[in-house]
Amino acid sequence: DGGITQSPKYLFRKEGQNVTLSCEQNLNHDAMYWYRQDPGQGLRLIYYSQIVNDFQKGDIAEGYSVSREKKESFPLTVTSAQKNPTAFYLCASRPPTGGRADTQYFGPGTRLTVL
Binding stretches for other proteins (CB under 8 A): 4, 6, 40-43, 45, 48, 50, 58, 88, 90, 92, 97, 100-109, 111
Please state the closest distance from residue 43 (CB atom) to other proteins, in A: 5
Nearer Cβ to other proteins (6/82):
6
Residues 62/82, Cβ–Cβ less than 8 Å = yes
Nearer to other proteins, 2 or 42 (CB): 42
Separation in Å, CA 91 to CA 14, 15, 29, 32, 115: 23, 23, 13, 7, 23
By 3-state DSSP, what share of the chain in percent is helix, strand and coil, each rounded to 5?
0, 50, 50
> Distance of alpha carbon 83 from its chain centroid, rounded?
18
Min dist CB 12 to other proteins, Å, is 16
Q: How far is the CB of 38 from other proteins (least distance, A)?
A: 10
